[in-house]
Amino acid sequence: MYDDHDLDYSGEGTLVCRGTEIHVEAKIKGYFQPLNGLYTWYGRIQKNDELDELLEGARAIAVFTTPEGRAECVVGDPDFWGRYRISGKSTPPYHLPTTLEEVEDMAEHHK
């Protein structure tokens, strides 16, 4: 059986916000919402001075891209440590298994 954390993303990404492209580090996780059929993902962008200067603590709409995909998102308020919250719905900006074969392969590799 695979671990739920296998469906998380931790790594580099590019955030395009207010016409500015910023390279960031992020930790993201998500879950499928069966009632509405959407995948909801959320996480934190590690402290980034360039992003903080651009947003000045405000929320914004952005596009987040990883080596595995891209998605529109909301960049929320920063927490006490200066990490901005990031969230989105539907297809996340990272790969998720979408076929039975992929899920079975994940389970096989984690026996």
For the chain, which residues make up each domain, given as ranges?
4-109
* Global confidence as pTM: 0.82
pLDDT recorded at residue 90: 87
pLDDT recorded at residue 98: 75
pLDDT recorded at residue 1: 34
Query: Terminus-to-terminus CA distance in the chain, angstroms?
Result: 6
Percent of the chain with pLDDT over 70: 88
3-class secondary-structure state, position 8: coil
What tens digit of pLDDT does each residue of 72-89 get?
A: 999 999 999 999 999 999
20: DSSP letter:
E
